[in-house]
Amino acid sequence: MKSRTGLAVLSGIATCAVLDFMILLTAGYSDIVLISPFLGGLVAGSFFIEPMKDGGKMGAITAVVDTLLVRPPIQAVLVRMGLLKIPPEISEIASLGLPMLLLLSAISFLIQLGIGFGGGLVGSYIKSRITPPQKPPPNVCPYCRAKIPPEAIYCPYCGANLKEFKSSRFW
């Protein structure tokens, strides 16, 4: 795993853990907790500048870890300490039988995966907007990589229009 990936996912999960704890403690057991995979995904995605390639994936990974590994123990500890009550309608779902329970869990899981993915997209989109475009080294042709004078308008080696390239990078 690349270190940036690890750092992104860790930061996202830390965000989720803090939010899960705060939301469960103050708002109780409710859908508001879905803010957590969104913002966690956003934080993880903000480490990358390509929403479709990296951001969404980071957000989705963060949401999966949050849903499966982070929120359940936080929830269990809060319930055990008497700080969180599981509403009766949730306990009733358990009596619907295993297939229904699995179906509902899978739906809930997919929703959170999607929310994390969306958060990651938003995070890396924001990051890509605030990151200045990378300038090519001034004395290298961006097309043929030959060394060229910095003030050149056309590459003396491949003939590429360098002015066009430069202006297209700074929209």
Query: Applying CB under 5 A, which residues contact Zn ion?
Result: 141, 143-144, 155, 157-158, 160
Q: Collect all residues with Cβ–Cβ distance below 8 Å to 60 and sequence separation of at least 6.
A: 41, 113, 116, 117, 120
CB of 132 to Zn ion, least distance (A): 24
C-beta closer to Zn ion: residue 29 or 143 = 143
Greatest extent of the chain over all pairs of C-alpha atoms, in Å:
77
119 vs 60: CA distance, rounded Å: 8
- The rounded distance, in Å, linking the Cα atoms of 45 and 47 is 5
Q: How far is the CB of 154 from Zn ion (least distance, A)?
A: 9
Least distance (Å) between residue 113 CB and Zn ion: 45
Nearer to Zn ion, 105 or 139 (CB): 139
Q: What is the DSSP letter of 30?
A: S
Q: How far is the CB of 143 from Zn ion (least distance, A)?
A: 5
Pick the closer one to Zn ion by CB: 79 or 160.
160
Nearer to Zn ion, 29 or 154 (CB): 154
Tokens for 54?
């990296």
